Amino acid sequence: MIKHHPTSQQLNAFVSGVCEPTLALMISAHTDLCAECQAKCLKLQHVETIDAFSSPVARTPELDKMFSRITQLPQQQKTLIADSPFEGSGLSHFDIELEGKRFVLPRTLKRYAKHTGNWSRLVGKLWQAPVDLGCMGKANFIYMEKGGKVPEHTHKGSEMTLVIDGQYGDGVANYDCGDFTLLDGTHNHLPHSEADEGCLVFTIVDKPLYFTSGIARLLNPFSHLFF
């Protein structure tokens, strides 16, 4: 069950088109998996549409006629005209593969599958595949096998994570498929998975992680090479 969602403020910015691009990407992928946030976004879209048509500046006789025709159409035709990017989003049928394991991606991330680099094993039971986001920069698919973990760390910048498959915990909370988190330097955590199927996440960091415990602290000068 999805328990971790974007905030109301973030969803408002997303629907209004004023969201920072990488955050918009993550929210879009989250709504592919989360019926609750799909419904919230559709409601926000509806409110914005009504506000636009009710605006004295935007409203014209031609727009009034068009709006009147739309509101009088049968429901099926309304759906075709007002086709929302959230309608029927669900999951795509495009998989990525690692060591014989196949993963289904949210529709939003399908376009980036061909821009995903080769998998490489990091420490222990941890795998990483870089994703080229073009002008938005870089992201990573991270896969934790059962018993795999990312060393305890905090953040010099922000870290956005979406669970694609499986479950993991980080000492703060437990996360399931579809859960979204946005963390910053006020957070210190140790992501790890004990799920039999492991856990695949899609993550974007804007600055290198800062490891906070054990021998992993020796990696801090080189953390930008891995995460």
User: What is the per-residue pLDDT across 115-161, written as a single tens digit (0 to 9) for each?
Assistant: 999 999 987 899 999 999 999 999 999 999 999 988 888 878 899 99
Burial class of 199 by CB neighbour count within 10 A (0 to 12, 13 to 18, 19+) = buried
Q: Nearest CA to 176 among 163, 189, 157?
A: 163
Query: Could you tell me the pTM of the whole model?
Result: 0.77
Residue span(s) of the chain under CATH 1.10.10 come to: 8-81
Q: Could you give the count of Cα atoms lying within 13 Å of 2 in the half-sphere of its Cβ?
A: 20
CATH of domain 91-225: 2.60.120.10
Cα(120)–Cα(216) distance, rounded to whole angstroms?
18
Q: Nearest CA to 201 among 103, 94, 95, 86?
A: 103
Average of per-residue pLDDT across 79-96: 45
CA triplet 148, 131, 186: central angle to 5 degrees?
60
Average of per-residue pLDDT across 182-206: 92
174 Cβ contact list (under 8 Å, min separation 6): 167, 168
Residue span(s) of the chain under CATH 2.60.120.10 come to: 91-225
Residue position matching structure tokens 């910048």:
157
**Percentage of residues in the chain with pLDDT exceeding 70?**
74
Cα(85)–Cα(22) distance, rounded to whole angstroms?
17
CATH topology of domain 8-81: Arc Repressor Mutant, subunit A (1.10.10)
